[in-house]
A and B are shown apart, each in its own frame.
Chain A
């Protein structure tokens, strides 16, 4: 297993366009998390899944954001009608529930909305 994989690494889009990011977690991990990080700040929680169930969504996640994990494996995060304030690094992480082994993060997708 090569760890958590995120695609694309970078995305530049025009304001108002829709974007979709993909995350492939470590295969044995049943939990998958999405975080958002702006420059010089710590990651902010967006949402997480246990298997295919979305267990929690942050109030930061407006109606323009949606995440799915249809088969309990990879996940997608879609942002509709992007705004300049959506520019950030979007990080995906996975872990095994019931353990304290910590999260394994991907390298992130850096979104720039122009």
Chain B
């Protein structure tokens, strides 16, 4: 059974600060995705990473996939109140039909 652990579970920072969220597993994933979810809404896809060691940037967000494809991180530079939300990592394996397994999420609060 895949198990994705996210840390920290909760992060509260001031506007302008940086933050990093981690996603770890003992399983090797064919792809890993990050989603952001706001209260009362479904998760929205931010990025997909597929290659070990891959780094993707999306404006102030930087996503990294570990060399062994077992872990990932999300780094936000100069966080803004609009970055507030629940950040979810989700991994897929071919053995599981590329069905996504989600981590428990990291709740981020950016205070103005």
Residues of A within 8 A of B (CB): 4, 33, 35, 40-45, 48, 55-56, 91, 93, 97, 100-108, 110
Contact = CB atoms under 8 A, between A and B. Distances in A.
A41 B48 contact: no
A105 B42 contact: yes
Interface in B18-39: 31, 33, 35
Contacts of B92: 100
Contacts of A4: 42
- What 7 pairs between A and B have smallest CB-CB spacing? A105-B42, A42-B102, A102-B45, A42-B105, A42-B104, A43-B102, A100-B31
Interface stretch (B52-60, B61-69, B72-80, B93-101): B93-101
B108 interface: no
A93 B45 CA distance: 11
Interface of B: 4, 6, 31, 33, 35, 40-45, 48, 50, 88, 90, 92, 97-105, 107
Contacts, number: 59
Contacts of A55: 97
Contacts of A93: 42
A104 B45 contact: yes
Greatest chain B CB density within 10 A among A33, A100, A110 is at: A100
Nearest to B42: A105
B48 A101 contact: yes
Contact of A41 (B42, B90, B104): B104
B43 A105 contact: yes
Given A42-B88, A48-B99, A56-B99, A107 B41 contact: yes
A102 B42 contact: no
Contacts of B90: 42
Contact of A91 (B6, B42, B101): B42
